[in-house]
Homo-oligomer: A and B are copies of this chain.
Amino acid sequence: MRCWNVYSESCPTRLVLNRIADKWTVLIVGALSQGTKRFGELRREIGGISQKMLTQTLRRMERDGLVNRKIYPTIPPKVEYSLTGLGCSLTEILEEIRVWSENHIETILAAQHEYDSAVE
Contact = CB atoms under 8 A, between A and B. Distances in A.
Contacts of A64: 108, 111-112
B63 A112 contact: yes
Contacts of A14: 23, 47-48
A46 interface: yes
| Interchain residue pairs A-B with the least CB separation, the first 10 | A65-B111, A9-B48, A9-B47, A16-B101, A63-B115, A4-B102, A21-B23, A13-B101, A17-B101, A8-B47
Interface of A: 4-10, 12-14, 16-18, 20-23, 25-27, 30-31, 45-48, 62-65, 86, 89-90, 93, 96-98, 100-102, 104-105, 107-112, 114-116
